[in-house]
């Protein structure tokens, strides 16, 4: 089984922490994960707020590449509507050159109205069209070595990509897919479906099945395994595990609710976000306590044995999947995050690596 560690770059939940300390701690954990045998180091893209701030994940991964001894690197994800396609193709080609083909390209379209608002001239209701047009341009450029297009948003005169891409991204593409149209897009692009541990996996199963069915319809072959993104708190102390995990996950959940305005009404009036409007209505009914209960049930926390049991249940339901997990979130002191990572690597990771 493929297991990665995801850098989130959040300061929500820590008192008086500097942005520099956030980066120092995430980088230390990334280097440790590499040392302990994780397969890939992922980096998010987010902007402006305590929730998460990594404005250019290709840049941070370029810094990490020469320091990693075995792990690959991955973008989770480049948010296409916030980036010029030509520049994305150039950055990805350069990073893949530096990484000697050990780059996994994850892409997404964005969900936070607060982030969209700061990008002038980029409407959130355009995100689906922008994503689809940009994805085709970028993947074409990485395949052909040049970009050219006459689309609505990104008219592009022919331009060479230098350094010239040397390797195919055919089996290295990941696409965040929570809504039906994102699932369709991921299947069309031959991307691995990426989803987050924020609701029950039974609720997620129809989406996974839809991706598999559309992938097979479009390409005549089986879809690659999806990737699930977790927030993990691993401890040997079973007595305190639930209380500690609940505290940190609840704090992180507060940042999700604030950043994405999950229970707001704006999704209803925003083109392309009908699935989130429906989710918002459901969350309003269950309230934060109900959301936290679902979050706690979906993600991985507790002793190594409990974590393995939960992941086994997920595999029994979804089939094979890749795992990307974060250990630093919700105000977790660095020492606790490192201890959690080390215990996971010692007791959980060897078992997962034996799964086929």
**How many CB atoms sit inside 10 A of residue 327's CB?**
26
Tens digits of per-residue pLDDT, 218-229?
Answer: 999 999 999 999
Q: What pLDDT, on the 0 to 100 scale, is given for residue 285?
A: 85
Q: What pLDDT, on the 0 to 100 scale, is given for residue 228?
A: 98
Asked whether the beta carbons of 256 and 262 are under 8 A apart, the reply is yes
Tens digits of per-residue pLDDT, 266-284?
Answer: 999 999 898 888 888 888 8
Alpha-helix residue ranges (DSSP H) falling in the chain = 19-35, 57-64, 85-98, 113-118, 127-144, 180-188, 201-219, 238-260, 274-298, 304-318, 334-343, 349-353
List 196's β-bridge partners, or say none. Answer: 229
Q: What pLDDT, on the 0 to 100 scale, is given for residue 236?
A: 97
Residues of the chain with pLDDT below 70 are none
Alpha-helix residue ranges (DSSP H) falling in 147-265 = 180-188, 201-219, 238-260
- In whole angstroms, what is the distance from residue 227 CA to residue 224 CA? 9
CB-hemisphere CA count at 13 Å for 227? 30
Q: What pLDDT, on the 0 to 100 scale, is given for residue 278?
A: 86
3-353 CATH pick, 3.30.420.40, 1.10.490.10, 3.30.830.10, 3.20.20.30: 3.20.20.30
Decide: residue 221, CB within 10 A, 0-12 exposed, 13-18 middle, 19+ buried: exposed
Q: What pLDDT, on the 0 to 100 scale, is given for residue 290?
A: 86
Asked whether the beta carbons of 340 and 349 are under 8 A apart, the reply is no
Tokens of 234: 């691993």
Q: What pLDDT, on the 0 to 100 scale, is given for residue 334?
A: 98
Length of the chain: 356
Give the largest Cα separation in the chain, rounded.
62
Q: What pLDDT, on the 0 to 100 scale, is given for residue 289?
A: 86
């Amino acid at each position: 089984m493929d297991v990665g560690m995801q850098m989130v770059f959040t300061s929500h939940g820590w008192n008086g922490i500097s942005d520099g300390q956030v980066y120092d701690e995430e980088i230390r954990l990334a280097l440790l994960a590499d040392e302990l045998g994780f397969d890939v180091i992922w980096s998010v893209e987010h902007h402006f707020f305590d929730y998460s701030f990594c404005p250019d994940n290709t840049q941070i991964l370029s810094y990490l590449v020469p320091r990693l001894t075995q792990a690959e690197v991955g973008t989770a994800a480049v948010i296409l509507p916030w980036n010029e396609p030509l520049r994305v193709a150039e950055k990805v080609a350069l990073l893949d050159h530096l990484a000697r083909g050990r780059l996994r390209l994850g892409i997404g379209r964005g969900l936070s109205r607060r982030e969209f608002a700061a990008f002038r001239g980029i409407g959130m209701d355009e995100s689906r069209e922008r994503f689809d047009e940009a994805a085709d341009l970028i993947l074409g450029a990485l395949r052909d070595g040049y970009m050219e297009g006459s689309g609505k948003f990104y008219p592009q005169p022919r331009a060479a990509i230098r350094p010239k891409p040397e390797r195919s991204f055919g089996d290295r593409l990941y696409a965040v897919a929570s809504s039906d149209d994102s699932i369709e897009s991921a299947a069309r692009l031959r991307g691995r479906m990426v989803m987050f541990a924020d609701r029950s996996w039974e609720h997620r199963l129809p989406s996974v099945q839809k991706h598999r069915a559309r992938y097979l319809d479009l390409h005549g072959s089986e879809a690659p395994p999806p990737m699930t993104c977790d927030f993990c708190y691993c401890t040997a102390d079973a007595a305190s595990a639930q209380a500690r995990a609940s505290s940190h996950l609840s704090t992180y959940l507060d940042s999700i609710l604030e950043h994405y305005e999950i229970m707001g009404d704006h999704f209803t009036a925003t083109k392309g976000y009908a699935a989130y409007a429906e989710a918002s209505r459901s969350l309003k009914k269950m309230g934060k306590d109900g959301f936290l209960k679902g979050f706690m049930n979906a993600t991985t926390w507790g002793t190594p044995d409990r974590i393995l049991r939960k992941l086994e249940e997920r595999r029994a339901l979804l089939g094979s999947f890749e795992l990307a997990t974060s250990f630093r979130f919700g105000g977790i002191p660095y020492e606790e995050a490192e201890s959690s990572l080390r215990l996971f690597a010692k007791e959980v990771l060897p078992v997962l690596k034996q799964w086929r």
